Amino acid sequence: MSKDKKVLVVGSGGREHAIVDALSRSQKVSKIWCAPGNAGIGQQAECVDIKVEDVEALAKFAKENEIDLTVVGPEAALAAGIADVFQRENLKIFGPTKKAARIESSKEFAKKIMEKYDIPTGSYRTFTDFNEALDYVKSRPLPAVIKYDGLAAGKGVVVALSYEEAEMALSDMLLDAAFGEGKVIIEEFMEGPEFSFMCVVSGERVYPLAIAQDHKRAYDGDKGPNTGGMGAYSPVPFISEEIRDEALIKVMIPAAKGLVKEGSPFVGVLYGGLILTKQGPKVIEFNARFGDPETEVVLPRLESDIYELFESAVEGWDCETRWNPEACLGVVLASEGYPGSYKKGAEIKGLDLTDGKVYHMGTRLDEDGKVLSAGGRVLMVTGMGKDLQAAHSAAMKNVKAIECPTLFHRTDIGHQAL
Ligand code: GLY
């Protein structure tokens, strides 16, 4: 097998660092670039200063550097039409077209697909009028699940515990157009543990990845505001193989087939944000990309070659994956104040003292080569072990090795399974 493939990864977070890290283990990959990357990614790939939305510049770079395959991380690049532009230019890309990515960018489109192809999910109604939406919410029991019908950087879903909270969310979304003019979806509240099921999808082909669970709330005990995710782990012991198979057969495969039938075949990672209800797994949301921070605990467990997996999806070939049975658990170190306002620029020390993988989510190097915080979520510190308890201990030991007074973290990642 020749190790001669050149890969471009698009993005700058922990997810992209984990993708770069997995690609660096490939027997087929000779060189990795990442646009724009971050301080940690720069140790494993050559960072290129192109923004993820500048899809024409990314295509030009891929052409000039004879990139064999581009792998897309963030939804912003998908929404900017990166896959459409690369396909137009005959460049190979792992990531869905704008049309297929509507499964994430339009909650209404996703719900219509689920309705049409009989995929289990909560019942819902769509509203554009504030008063009608509020009357509907008030006619129903709490909590009220309110979703903005579009991309909202992880802030477009509110689970309101009171009618006042629901009114505020509706006012933000419909009267103040906080995320842009649009619609909202009001959905039935579903109860049960949540889990993330990511699958590599190539048209009707679906290659399941290992199951993970994310922790959305900022503080221990699942308290505090919603965030992009404060930690994750994989595998998830309460998702048995039977439940996983049920989710694959009733959710992920019909979604992939449904997108083909709708004339929007999907190539990339289809992320099922699922909930295990008394009636079985149901869909909370679909995303059109790898989850963050789930990717940082799933890819370290992948033993087979990730380039082969990406290549198979792009070419439409069959592919098998192999997984390490060990557990991986990761803890996010975030800037104080996150998910609200926070300061950047704090020096991070001790990164060389950890013995697990530390994925950089929001960092940069200064002129002296010091690593500085550069985002809300800054690092995803992982640990592996024979079981989740061992992985948790390993991750927490690594967290302790890192010195940065302005970062905070949760101590109870994995609590539903430990
Ligand atoms: N961790 C949730 C997401 O990536 O959307």
* Ligand 1 atom nearest residue 293's Cα: 1
Q: What is the pLDDT of residue 180?
A: 81
Rounded mean pLDDT of the chain?
A: 95
Q: How many CB atoms lie within 10 A of CB 64?
A: 8
* Ligand 1 atom nearest residue 285's Cα: 5
Residue with tokens 């097998």: 1
Reply yes or no on whether the pLDDT at 154 is more than 80: no
What's the DSSP call for residue 320?
-
The CA distance from 100 to 119, in Å, is: 17
The CA distance from 322 to 315, in Å, is: 20
Residue 376 Cα to ligand 1 midpoint, Å, equals 15
Dmax (CA) of the chain: 64
**Alpha carbon nearest to ligand 1 atom 5, residue:** 291
Residue 292 Cα to ligand 1 midpoint, Å, equals 5
205: amino acid identity, one letter = R
* Ligand 1 atom nearest residue 290's Cα: 4
Q: What is the pLDDT of residue 406?
A: 96
Question: Ligand 1: residues within 6 Å at CB?
Answer: 214, 229, 287, 291-292, 294
Q: What is the pLDDT of residue 157?
A: 86
Q: What is the pLDDT of residue 179?
A: 83
Query: Of 170, 188, 161, nearest to 130 (Cα)?
Result: 170
Residue 367 Cα to ligand 1 midpoint, Å, equals 32
Residue 293 Cα to ligand 1 midpoint, Å, equals 7
* Ligand 1 atom nearest residue 291's Cα: 4
The 10s digit of each residue's pLDDT in 252-299 is 999 999 999 999 999 999 999 999 999 999 999 999 999 999 999 999
Reply yes or no on whether the pLDDT at 153 is more than 80: no
Report the Cα 357 to chain-centroid distance in Å. Answer: 18
Reply yes or no on whether the pLDDT at 372 is more than 90: yes
**Alpha carbon nearest to ligand 1 atom 3, residue:** 291
Residue 333 Cα to ligand 1 midpoint, Å, equals 16
Phi and psi at 250, nearest 5°, equal -90, -20
Task: Categorize the per-residue pLDDT at 161 as very low, low, confident or very high, splitting at 50, 70 and 90.
Answer: very high
Task: Categorize the per-residue pLDDT at 72 as very low, low, confident or very high, splitting at 50, 70 and 90.
Answer: very high
More confident residue, 119 or 178: 119
Reply yes or no on whether the pLDDT at 204 is more than 90: yes
Percent of the residues in the chain that have a pLDDT greater than 70, as a whole number: 100
Long-range contacts of 116-121 (CB under 8 A, 24+ apart): 116/258, 117/254, 117/255, 117/257, 117/258, 117/261, 118/254, 119/250, 119/251, 119/254, 119/255, 119/258, 119/283, 120/250, 120/251, 120/279, 120/280, 120/281, 120/282, 120/283, 121/282, 121/283, 121/284
The CA distance from 385 to 101, in Å, is: 35
The 10s digit of each residue's pLDDT in 328-371 is 999 999 999 999 999 999 999 999 988 889 999 999 999 999 99
The CA distance from 381 to 413, in Å, is: 12
Q: What is the pLDDT of residue 259?
A: 98
Question: Does residue 224 contact residue 270 with C-beta atoms inside 8 Å?
Answer: no
Report the Cα 204 to chain-centroid distance in Å. Answer: 21
The pTM for the full model equals 0.94
Q: What is the pLDDT of residue 355?
A: 87
**Alpha carbon nearest to ligand 1 atom 4, residue:** 291
Residue 289 Cα to ligand 1 midpoint, Å, equals 9
Tokens representing residue 353 in the block = 């003292």
Q: What is the pLDDT of residue 150?
A: 80
Residue whose CB lies within 8 A of the most ligand 1 atoms, among 19, 226, 292, for a mutation test? 292
Residue 341 Cα to ligand 1 midpoint, Å, equals 20
Residue with tokens 């869909």: 283
Residue 83 Cα to ligand 1 midpoint, Å, equals 20
Residue whose CB lies within 8 A of the most ligand 1 atoms, among 78, 107, 294, for a mutation test? 294
Residue whose CB lies within 8 A of the most ligand 1 atoms, among 104, 195, 196, 299, for a mutation test? 196
Q: What is the pLDDT of residue 155?
A: 74
Question: Does residue 72 contact residue 83 with C-beta atoms inside 8 Å?
Answer: yes
**Rg of the chain on CA atoms, in Å:** 21
Residue 359: CA atoms inside 13 Å, Cβ hemisphere, count? 31
Q: What is the pLDDT of residue 9?
A: 98
96: amino acid identity, one letter = P
The CA distance from 72 to 53, in Å, is: 11
The CA distance from 32 to 412, in Å, is: 35
10 Å CB burial of residue 408 (0-12, 13-18, 19+) is: middle
Residue 210 Cα to ligand 1 midpoint, Å, equals 15
What's the DSSP call for residue 343?
-
Reply yes or no on whether the pLDDT at 207 is more than 80: yes
Q: What is the pLDDT of residue 152?
A: 78
Virtual torsion, Cα 53, 75, 345, 178, nearest 10 deg: 90
Reply yes or no on whether the pLDDT at 144 is more than 80: yes
Span 318-323, mean pLDDT?
A: 95
Query: Of 79, 16, 83, nearest to 48 (Cα)?
Result: 16
Reply yes or no on whether the pLDDT at 182 is more than 90: no
Residue with tokens 């302790």: 400
| Backbone conformation region of residue 81, classed left if phi is above 0, alpha if psi is from -120 to 50, else beta | left
The CA distance from 407 to 75, in Å, is: 26
Report the Cα 77 to chain-centroid distance in Å. Answer: 13
